[in-house]
Amino acid sequence: MLSRLAGEYCIFLIGKIRDMPTTKIQTLTRVSSVDDLGAVVRSSRRSAGVDQATAAGLAGVGARFLGDLERGKPNLRLGLVLQVLDRLGLELWVAPRGWRDRGP
């Protein structure tokens, strides 16, 4: 499901890890594949200094699920993916392709 969406839209993650200093706020990251999404999740978790097992527990998912997400497994449950993003302080935005190329 996510890979199909990524092929039709630009998907952006915005946000910050809860309790992270504001100097480390992430910028917009374009996600074009489930691998990209996994890399953003892994980077956010590591920036927060949390291991996979702890992050999974805090997000209410299993460590295997979080590992699969970070490795870019394409057929994970979207609801649980969104739950993980929320617990990491990330938001998922969907925009039509080329939206940045259009003038104001």
What CATH number should be reported for the domain holding residue 91? 1.10.260.40
> What pLDDT is stored for residue 104 in this prediction?
52
Q: Is residue 76 part of a domain?
A: yes
Q: Is residue 32 part of a domain?
A: yes
> What pLDDT is stored for residue 103 in this prediction?
53
Q: Is residue 68 part of a domain?
A: yes
Q: Domain range for residue 24?
A: 2-96
Q: Is residue 39 part of a domain?
A: yes
Query: What is the count of structural domains for the chain?
Result: 1
- Which contiguous run of DSSP H or E holds residue 31? strand 29-31
Q: Is residue 14 part of a domain?
A: yes
> What pLDDT is stored for residue 87 in this prediction?
93
> What pLDDT is stored for residue 101 in this prediction?
64
Among 3, 2, 7, 1, residue whose Cα is nearest residue 97: 7
Q: Is residue 83 part of a domain?
A: yes
Q: Tell me if the pTM is above 0.85.
A: no
Among 91, 78, 94, residue whose Cα is nearest residue 32: 94
Q: Which residues of the chain have pLDDT under 70?
A: 1-26, 101-104
